[in-house]
Amino acid sequence: MVLSRFEYKKARDVADAIALYKARKGKAVYLAGGTDLIPLMKQKLSMPKAVIDLKGIDELRSVTSKGGYVEIGANVTLFELKNNAVIKDNFPALHESLEATACETLQMRGSIGGNILQDTRCLEHNQSLEWRTARGFCLRSGGKACNVVKGSKICFANYCSDNAPALVTLDAEARFEGPEGKRAIKLASLFTGDAFKPFAVRAGEILTHIRIPVKKTKGAYEKLRVRESMDYPLVGVAVSSSGPGWNVCVTGVGLKPLIYEVRNTSEAGIKEIADKASSDARPAANTVVSPVYRKKMVGVLIKRAVKRAIGEGK
Ligand SMILES: Cc1cc2nc3c(=O)[nH]c(=O)nc-3n(C[C@H](O)[C@H](O)[C@H](O)COP(=O)(O)OP(=O)(O)OC[C@H]3O[C@@H](n4cnc5c(N)ncnc54)[C@H](O)[C@@H]3O)c2cc1C
């Protein structure tokens, strides 16, 4: 698959990147590791006129601890983050989700910012232009209806970041800088559930940092996948706790993560949330395993993750 022609610009710093974006009147995308974006461009699912490379920006590459928070630059690679002492010592759910992401080669290239802002996925959508032309375009590709749930005017693609759920359970905040200035939002409120605009990111905004309050947590990440060596989550469940109760976040089933707070930490309380999440999940037949199985596994993985986090399971 050949890339279409595009203009390539390497930004010196965040202000330079925003100026490059503004000069192209919004007809540009940002590039970090490129492991999500470049395949989309090859498949002609994204055809930007210009690509602004953020990789050379030093201020986006560090992990710093100050004032009770750890601040992670968006360009920090998944591999660097996985091996960071603060992450290892305090956030088991995040450490495990980083370990479970793709394979080490991809972890060394892919950034945490790109991981959070990766596009949603579907077996009918993530295909070459030739494949999609022969099959008939789905809703996302400009067709009239979904090809998975026949006739549906709603897209059933899956948000598949392994690490956003762990960050959500750790109460992380996302910091942006863009043409309209700086702002910070809770990561949990980043997800819109809209297939055509899955993130509440304003035009030209750069995700600069992720900020997490540093507290010793219990936690775990459970992932359903076909190949242990490298695969997107078919279901992913992160659980974290820094006191009474659990934060739970589910990825891989639907356009945005499912988020829960567990206040009753008895076995019955955990089961109640596991059953609720299973019932809330609306998986479609757009991955390599059946929706019924994935729906059931949402609840199974929540119970399994909590058990493991409290040292009772394997
Ligand atoms: C074979 C394969 C297997 C994979 N397996 C997994 C997996 O198991 N789990 C998983 O979670 N992911 C997986 N991925 C997806 C991807 O590799 C990772 O999510 C990776 O972390 C993406 O980071 P990146 O830096 O390469 O993002 P890029 O491709 O550079 O960017 C992704 C998106 O984010 C935007 N972006 C990037 N940085 C910024 C920023 N700072 N500000 C604003 N916008 C930004 C880009 O414009 C683009 O839209 C896989 C990819 C491949 C090719």
| Residue 115 CA, ligand 1 centroid: distance in Å | 4
Sequence-ordered strand ranges (E) for the chain? 7-10, 28-31, 50-53, 63-66, 69-73, 173-178, 181-186, 206-213, 218-224, 235-241, 246-251, 258-262
Q: Could you tell me which residues come within 8 angstroms of residue 269 by beta carbon, excluding any fewer than 6 positions away?
A: 262, 263
Model pLDDT, residue 228: 85
> Could you say which architecture CATH assigns to the domain 1-56?
2-Layer Sandwich (3.30)
Integer Cα distance of 155 and 193 in angstroms: 10
Closest CA to ligand 1's atom 18: 115
Indicate if the pLDDT at residue 313 is higher than 80.
no
β-strands 28-31, 50-53: how paired? parallel
Categorize the per-residue pLDDT at 183 as very low, low, confident or very high, splitting at 50, 70 and 90: very high
If you average pLDDT over every residue of the chain, what do you get? 96
Distance CA 97, CA 167 (A): 10
Which of the 8 DSSP states describes residue 141?
G
Tokens, residue 303: 């119970």
Rounded Cα distance between 63 and 57, Å, is: 14
pLDDT of 172 strictly over 90:
yes
pLDDT at 46 over 70: yes
Distance CA 314, CA 308 (A): 6
pLDDT at 1 over 90: no
- How far, in Å, is the centroid of ligand 1 from the Cα of 33? 7
Report percent pLDDT > 70 for the chain.
99
Give the C-alpha distances (Å, rounded to integers) separating 133 from 26, 129, 137, 153, 158: 28, 6, 6, 19, 22
Centre a 10 Å sphere on the Cβ of residue 12 and count the other Cβ atoms it contains: 12
Q: Tell me whether domains 1-56 and 61-117+158-309 share a fold.
A: no
- Cα separations in angstroms, 22 against 18, 25, 179, 197: 6, 5, 7, 20
* Cα 223–Cα 107–Cα 192 angle in degrees, nearest 5: 60
Give residue limits of the domains in the chain.
1-56, 61-117+158-309
Whether the per-residue pLDDT at 15 is higher than 80: the answer is: yes
Architecture of domain 61-117+158-309: 2-Layer Sandwich (3.30)
Average pLDDT over every residue of 172-191: 98
* Pocket flag, ligand 1, residue 121 (CB < 6 Å): no
How far does the centroid of ligand 1 lie from the alpha carbon of residue 110, in Å?
Answer: 6
Query: How far is C-alpha 216 from the chain's CA centre?
Result: 23
Separation of CA 47 and ligand 1 centre (Å): 16
Q: Is the pLDDT reported for residue 109 higher than 80?
A: yes
- The whole-number pLDDT of residue 219 equals 98
* Whether the CB of 252 sits within 6 Å of ligand 1: no
Mean pLDDT of 172-186: 98
CB distance 166 to 93 below 8 Å: yes
Report whether residue 35 contacts ligand 1, using a CB cutoff of 6 Å: yes
Q: What is the pLDDT of residue 2?
A: 87
Residues 295-305 have pLDDT tens digits of 999 999 999 99
Q: What percent of the chain has pLDDT over 90?
A: 95
Task: Kindly give, in sequence order, each residue whose CB lies less than 8 Å from that of residue 304, ignoring residues fewer than 6 positions away.
Answer: 222, 237, 313
Q: What is the pLDDT, as a whole number, of residue 314?
A: 67
Closest CA to 199 of 128, 117, 82, 92: 117
